[in-house]
Amino acid sequence: MEERGVNIDHGTLNRWVIKFAPLMAAQAQSRKKPTAESWRMDETYIKVKGK
């Protein structure tokens, strides 16, 4: 906001986040592609110190 020359209090910004974050999350969730109900991951091996 400072780059645009708007001076706001951090409390105001916090209230905006609390108000608008759930709305933005709902929009993002609705635009996600659906996934299958069930999925499985193959086994994965991780080397630690070469072992």
- Whole-angstrom Cα distance, residue 2 to residue 24? 22
For the chain, what is the mean pLDDT? Answer: 86
Percent of the chain with pLDDT over 90: 31
Residue 51 has pLDDT above 80, yes or no: no
pTM here?
Answer: 0.50
Higher pLDDT, 38 or 27: 27
Per-residue pLDDT, 44: 77
Mean pLDDT value of segment 1-5: 84
At a CB cut-off of 8 Å and minimum separation 6, what does 13 contact?
1
Per-residue pLDDT, 28: 92
